[in-house]
A and B are shown apart, each in its own frame.
Chain A
Amino acid sequence: MVTASWYLILAAGLFTIGAVGLLVRRNPLIMFMCVELMLNAVNLTFITFGRELNDIGGQVSVFFVLVVAAAEVVVGLAIVVAINRRRPQATADDLSALRG
Protein backbone atom coordinates (compact mmCIF):
# COMPACT_ATOMS: atom_id res chain seq x y z
CA MET A 1 0.00 0.00 0.00
CA VAL A 2 1.36 3.38 -1.02
CA THR A 3 0.94 5.88 1.80
CA ALA A 4 0.89 9.64 1.38
CA SER A 5 4.42 9.94 2.78
CA TRP A 6 5.83 8.10 -0.26
CA TYR A 7 4.37 10.72 -2.57
CA LEU A 8 5.60 13.52 -0.32
CA ILE A 9 9.13 12.06 -0.25
CA LEU A 10 9.09 11.80 -4.04
CA ALA A 11 7.88 15.40 -4.30
CA ALA A 12 10.61 16.55 -1.91
CA GLY A 13 13.24 14.75 -3.99
CA LEU A 14 11.90 16.26 -7.20
CA PHE A 15 11.85 19.75 -5.66
CA THR A 16 15.45 19.28 -4.48
CA ILE A 17 16.63 18.23 -7.93
CA GLY A 18 14.88 21.25 -9.46
CA ALA A 19 16.30 23.67 -6.89
CA VAL A 20 19.85 22.34 -7.27
CA GLY A 21 19.53 22.51 -11.05
CA LEU A 22 18.28 26.10 -10.87
CA LEU A 23 21.30 27.06 -8.76
CA VAL A 24 23.90 25.07 -10.69
CA ARG A 25 22.99 25.46 -14.36
CA ARG A 26 23.64 28.74 -16.17
CA ASN A 27 21.61 28.21 -19.34
CA PRO A 28 18.40 30.29 -18.95
CA LEU A 29 16.27 27.67 -20.76
CA ILE A 30 17.40 24.87 -18.45
CA MET A 31 16.84 27.12 -15.45
CA PHE A 32 13.23 27.56 -16.59
CA MET A 33 12.85 23.78 -16.91
CA CYS A 34 14.12 23.41 -13.34
CA VAL A 35 11.46 25.88 -12.19
CA GLU A 36 8.90 23.64 -13.92
CA LEU A 37 10.27 20.65 -11.98
CA MET A 38 9.79 22.49 -8.70
CA LEU A 39 6.24 23.53 -9.65
CA ASN A 40 5.46 19.90 -10.47
CA ALA A 41 6.77 18.77 -7.10
CA VAL A 42 4.45 21.25 -5.41
CA ASN A 43 1.53 20.05 -7.54
CA LEU A 44 2.18 16.50 -6.37
CA THR A 45 2.05 17.55 -2.71
CA PHE A 46 -1.18 19.49 -3.35
CA ILE A 47 -2.88 16.47 -4.90
CA THR A 48 -1.54 14.10 -2.24
CA PHE A 49 -2.84 16.24 0.60
CA GLY A 50 -6.07 16.81 -1.30
CA ARG A 51 -6.63 13.05 -1.35
CA GLU A 52 -5.57 12.57 2.26
CA LEU A 53 -7.88 15.32 3.54
CA ASN A 54 -10.61 14.35 1.07
CA ASP A 55 -10.78 17.93 -0.20
CA ILE A 56 -11.16 18.83 -3.88
CA GLY A 57 -9.56 22.22 -3.16
CA GLY A 58 -6.11 20.68 -3.57
CA GLN A 59 -6.86 19.84 -7.19
CA VAL A 60 -8.30 23.30 -7.80
CA SER A 61 -5.06 24.81 -6.45
CA VAL A 62 -3.09 22.66 -8.89
CA PHE A 63 -5.26 24.01 -11.70
CA PHE A 64 -4.25 27.56 -10.79
CA VAL A 65 -0.59 26.57 -10.45
CA LEU A 66 -0.75 25.15 -13.98
CA VAL A 67 -2.21 28.39 -15.34
CA VAL A 68 0.44 30.50 -13.62
CA ALA A 69 3.17 28.14 -14.82
CA ALA A 70 1.95 28.50 -18.39
CA ALA A 71 1.92 32.31 -18.13
CA GLU A 72 5.37 32.27 -16.55
CA VAL A 73 6.82 30.13 -19.32
CA VAL A 74 5.29 32.31 -22.04
CA VAL A 75 6.73 35.53 -20.59
CA GLY A 76 10.05 33.93 -19.64
CA LEU A 77 10.67 32.44 -23.05
CA ALA A 78 9.76 35.75 -24.71
CA ILE A 79 12.46 37.37 -22.55
CA VAL A 80 14.92 34.64 -23.58
CA VAL A 81 14.14 35.25 -27.25
CA ALA A 82 14.49 39.02 -26.84
CA ILE A 83 17.83 38.66 -25.02
CA ASN A 84 19.08 36.16 -27.54
CA ARG A 85 18.41 38.58 -30.39
CA ARG A 86 20.60 41.22 -28.78
CA ARG A 87 23.28 38.98 -27.27
CA PRO A 88 23.52 35.49 -28.72
CA GLN A 89 24.82 32.71 -26.43
CA ALA A 90 24.31 34.78 -23.27
CA THR A 91 24.27 32.79 -20.02
CA ALA A 92 22.56 33.90 -16.84
CA ASP A 93 25.89 35.18 -15.49
CA ASP A 94 26.28 37.58 -18.43
CA LEU A 95 22.89 39.22 -17.82
CA SER A 96 23.93 41.70 -15.14
CA ALA A 97 22.59 44.86 -16.79
CA LEU A 98 19.91 45.26 -14.08
CA ARG A 99 22.35 45.25 -11.15
CA GLY A 100 21.71 47.95 -8.61
Chain B
Amino acid sequence: METAVFIVCAAIVLAGALGVVLARNPVHAALSLVGTLFGMAVLFLNLEAHFLAAVQIIVYAGAIVVLFLFVIGLAVAFLVTSDVGLPAEAVLRLDITDQYSNLRQIAAVLFTDYVYAFEATAALLTISVVGAVVMSRRVARADQAQQAAEDD
Protein backbone atom coordinates (compact mmCIF):
# COMPACT_ATOMS: atom_id res chain seq x y z
CA MET B 1 0.00 0.00 0.00
CA GLU B 2 2.74 2.42 0.97
CA THR B 3 4.61 1.53 -2.22
CA ALA B 4 1.57 2.16 -4.40
CA VAL B 5 0.89 5.52 -2.73
CA PHE B 6 4.53 6.47 -3.11
CA ILE B 7 4.67 5.63 -6.82
CA VAL B 8 1.45 7.48 -7.66
CA CYS B 9 2.40 10.55 -5.62
CA ALA B 10 5.96 10.62 -6.90
CA ALA B 11 4.60 10.63 -10.45
CA ILE B 12 2.21 13.49 -9.57
CA VAL B 13 4.99 15.46 -7.87
CA LEU B 14 7.43 15.09 -10.75
CA ALA B 15 4.77 15.79 -13.40
CA GLY B 16 3.71 18.93 -11.52
CA ALA B 17 7.32 20.07 -11.17
CA LEU B 18 7.93 19.61 -14.89
CA GLY B 19 4.70 21.50 -15.54
CA VAL B 20 5.98 24.43 -13.47
CA VAL B 21 9.23 24.58 -15.42
CA LEU B 22 7.82 23.93 -18.89
CA ALA B 23 4.51 25.85 -18.83
CA ARG B 24 4.46 28.96 -21.00
CA ASN B 25 1.51 30.53 -19.18
CA PRO B 26 2.30 31.45 -15.53
CA VAL B 27 -1.26 30.47 -14.50
CA HIS B 28 -0.67 26.93 -15.76
CA ALA B 29 2.63 26.89 -13.87
CA ALA B 30 0.86 27.92 -10.65
CA LEU B 31 -1.76 25.20 -11.09
CA SER B 32 0.96 22.61 -11.74
CA LEU B 33 2.56 23.80 -8.51
CA VAL B 34 -0.71 22.99 -6.71
CA GLY B 35 -0.46 19.43 -8.09
CA THR B 36 3.09 19.09 -6.83
CA LEU B 37 2.15 20.44 -3.39
CA PHE B 38 -0.82 18.09 -3.03
CA GLY B 39 1.32 15.11 -4.03
CA MET B 40 3.89 16.24 -1.49
CA ALA B 41 1.20 16.48 1.21
CA VAL B 42 0.20 12.86 0.56
CA LEU B 43 3.86 11.82 0.77
CA PHE B 44 4.01 13.61 4.14
CA LEU B 45 1.02 11.52 5.27
CA ASN B 46 2.90 8.44 4.05
CA LEU B 47 5.81 9.49 6.26
CA GLU B 48 3.46 9.91 9.25
CA ALA B 49 3.84 13.70 9.36
CA HIS B 50 0.11 14.40 9.62
CA PHE B 51 0.37 17.95 10.96
CA LEU B 52 2.75 19.06 8.24
CA ALA B 53 0.57 17.50 5.54
CA ALA B 54 -2.30 19.70 6.74
CA VAL B 55 -0.07 22.77 6.97
CA GLN B 56 1.29 22.05 3.50
CA ILE B 57 -2.19 22.15 1.98
CA ILE B 58 -3.44 25.10 4.02
CA VAL B 59 -0.34 27.31 3.72
CA TYR B 60 0.92 26.37 0.26
CA ALA B 61 -2.17 25.52 -1.75
CA GLY B 62 -4.47 27.76 0.26
CA ALA B 63 -2.29 30.84 0.65
CA ILE B 64 0.93 30.92 -1.35
CA VAL B 65 -0.44 29.66 -4.67
CA VAL B 66 -3.50 31.88 -4.36
CA LEU B 67 -1.11 34.79 -3.76
CA PHE B 68 0.78 33.77 -6.91
CA LEU B 69 -2.47 33.71 -8.86
CA PHE B 70 -3.50 37.13 -7.56
CA VAL B 71 -0.15 38.61 -8.55
CA ILE B 72 -0.36 36.99 -11.97
CA GLY B 73 -3.83 38.51 -12.29
CA LEU B 74 -2.49 41.93 -11.31
CA ALA B 75 0.71 41.76 -13.32
CA VAL B 76 -0.50 40.14 -16.51
CA ALA B 77 -3.78 42.06 -16.21
CA PHE B 78 -6.29 39.39 -16.97
CA LEU B 79 -8.87 38.02 -14.64
CA VAL B 80 -8.03 34.82 -12.80
CA THR B 81 -10.87 33.16 -10.95
CA SER B 82 -9.37 30.79 -8.45
CA ASP B 83 -11.40 28.54 -6.27
CA VAL B 84 -8.81 26.56 -4.36
CA GLY B 85 -10.68 25.00 -1.48
CA LEU B 86 -9.29 23.51 1.69
CA PRO B 87 -10.13 19.81 1.74
CA ALA B 88 -7.81 19.42 4.71
CA GLU B 89 -10.33 17.91 7.11
CA ALA B 90 -10.86 15.02 4.69
CA VAL B 91 -7.38 13.63 5.30
CA LEU B 92 -6.61 14.92 8.77
CA ARG B 93 -6.06 12.65 11.71
CA LEU B 94 -5.13 15.26 14.29
CA ASP B 95 -6.60 13.96 17.47
CA ILE B 96 -5.37 16.42 20.08
CA THR B 97 -6.65 14.26 22.92
CA ASP B 98 -4.23 11.48 21.95
CA GLN B 99 -1.08 12.10 23.91
CA TYR B 100 1.18 10.55 21.26
CA SER B 101 -0.38 12.26 18.25
CA ASN B 102 1.89 13.95 15.73
CA LEU B 103 0.54 17.38 16.66
CA ARG B 104 1.33 16.93 20.36
CA GLN B 105 4.81 15.63 19.63
CA ILE B 106 5.60 18.67 17.50
CA ALA B 107 4.09 21.08 20.00
CA ALA B 108 6.09 19.56 22.86
CA VAL B 109 9.35 20.27 21.05
CA LEU B 110 8.32 23.51 19.35
CA PHE B 111 7.24 25.26 22.54
CA THR B 112 10.21 24.14 24.63
CA ASP B 113 13.47 23.64 22.73
CA TYR B 114 12.59 25.89 19.80
CA VAL B 115 10.49 28.51 21.57
CA TYR B 116 12.81 31.45 20.79
CA ALA B 117 12.97 30.47 17.12
CA PHE B 118 9.18 30.24 17.17
CA GLU B 119 8.90 33.75 18.60
CA ALA B 120 11.38 34.96 15.99
CA THR B 121 9.16 33.61 13.20
CA ALA B 122 6.35 35.81 14.51
CA ALA B 123 8.63 38.84 14.15
CA LEU B 124 9.74 37.65 10.71
CA LEU B 125 6.17 37.33 9.45
CA THR B 126 5.19 40.72 10.86
CA ILE B 127 8.18 42.41 9.25
CA SER B 128 7.57 40.70 5.90
CA VAL B 129 3.91 41.76 5.87
CA VAL B 130 4.82 45.36 6.72
CA GLY B 131 7.53 45.29 4.05
CA ALA B 132 5.12 43.95 1.45
CA VAL B 133 2.60 46.69 2.22
CA VAL B 134 5.27 49.39 2.03
CA MET B 135 6.69 48.09 -1.25
CA SER B 136 3.39 47.61 -3.04
CA ARG B 137 1.94 50.94 -1.85
CA ARG B 138 1.35 53.46 -4.62
CA VAL B 139 3.79 56.35 -4.39
CA ALA B 140 2.55 59.92 -4.75
CA ARG B 141 1.96 61.04 -8.31
CA ALA B 142 4.51 63.88 -8.38
CA ASP B 143 7.12 61.52 -6.99
CA GLN B 144 6.28 58.96 -9.69
CA ALA B 145 6.64 61.51 -12.49
CA GLN B 146 10.01 62.53 -11.11
CA GLN B 147 11.20 58.92 -10.99
CA ALA B 148 9.97 58.34 -14.54
CA ALA B 149 11.95 61.39 -15.67
CA GLU B 150 15.03 59.98 -13.95
CA ASP B 151 14.57 56.65 -15.75
CA ASP B 152 14.52 58.34 -19.18
Check A77–B71 contact: CB distance below 8 A: yes
Main secondary structure of the interface of B (DSSP, over half): helix
Check A47–B109 contact: CB distance below 8 A: no
Check A70–B125 contact: CB distance below 8 A: yes
A70 partner residues in chain B, CB cutoff 8 A: 59, 63-64, 125, 128
Main secondary structure of the interface of A (DSSP, over half): helix
Tell me which residues from 1 to 28 in chain A have a Cβ below 8 Å from any Cβ of chain B.
Answer: 1-2, 6-7, 10, 13-14, 17-18, 20-21, 24-25, 27
For chain B, give the interface size range: 35 or more
Task: Check A95 for interface membership: any CB of B closer than 8 A.
Answer: no
Residues of A within 8 A of B (CB): 1-2, 6-7, 10, 13-14, 17-18, 20-21, 24-25, 27, 29-30, 32-34, 36-37, 40, 43-44, 47-48, 50-51, 56-57, 59-60, 62-64, 66-75, 77-82, 84-86, 88
